[in-house]
A and B are shown apart, each in its own frame.
Chain A
Amino acid sequence: DAGVTQSPTHLIKTRGQQVTLRCSPKSGHDTVSWYQQALGQGPQFIFQYYEEEERQRGNFPDRFSGHQFPNYSSELNVNALWLGDSALYLCASSFGVGMNTEAFFGQGTRLTVV
């Protein structure tokens, strides 16, 4: 049973460019959440997708957008990249949006903006 898979594992982009990160949830899961983890810090919630809609959003600008597909996989898009967007981007999947649900995390995508 495959867990949460993210691609690519590493990415280098130039300031001002756009990037798309991908996430496939664990089998049986229908909810995907994205987190940004800057070096030396804890993960920060970006947004959550359920039933192909953004259900919750953290304190991130509109440059951060996402999408969920009918097969529950998800994409995170970041436009007009800043140097400060360099971070580990983690995807977490779960079943439903209730509180009593365990989130499983992928290994993340390490984004470096130069």
Chain B
Amino acid sequence: AQKVTQAQTEISVVEKEDVTLDCVYETRDTTYYLFWYKQPPSGELVFLIRRNSFDEQNEISGRYSWNFQKSTSSFNFTITASQVVDSAVYFCATLSGSARQLTFGSGTQLTVLP
């Protein structure tokens, strides 16, 4: 079975600070994908990033970056120079070959204060 743990329930930062959201996943599959989604108050889940299990290269995309480490089963997400519009609930999720359905963590509520 797949499991995703987001230990941080709520985080508050001041605008322009960097913030890292933690995610730990569990899966028995060797082939899987990891995702980060953003959910603003409107409710729609917005896709942010996707990574497959064979690519541990960490990348930066604009103000977003992620750190994928298979050795610790972690897939952390960093927002650089946070903005008030980044305030939302962020979900980490996994999708694997044996269970082709997204399994989500419980989410982290990020509040960016002006």
Contacts and interface: CB of A to CB of B under 8 A. Distances in A.
B24 interface: no
A64 to B, nearest CB: 14
Interface residues of A, number: 25
Contact of A103 (B47, B99, B103): B47
A97 B103 CA distance: 15
Contacts of A45: 101-103
Contact of A105 (B44, B100, B106, B107): B44
Interface residues of B, number: 27
A100 B33 contact: yes
Q: Which of B32, B46, B93, B102 has the most CB of A within 10 A?
A: B102
Contact of B104 (A33, A40, A43, A102): A43
Q: Which of A33, A88, A103, A110 has the most CB of B within 10 A?
A: A103
Contacts, number: 60
A90 B107 contact: no
A44 to B, nearest CB: 8
Contacts of A100: 33, 52
A85 B11 CA distance: 29
Given A99-B95, A102-B47, A42 B100 contact: no
Contacts of A40: 106-107
A40 B52 CA distance: 27
Contact of B43 (A99, A104, A110): A110
Contacts of B42: 107
Given A48-B101, A56-B101, A88-B43, 18 more contacts: A40-B107, A41-B107, A42-B4, A42-B105, A43-B45, A43-B91, A45-B101, A56-B99, A56-B100, A58-B101, A99-B33, A99-B96, A102-B47, A102-B50, A103-B47, A105-B44, A107-B43, A108-B44
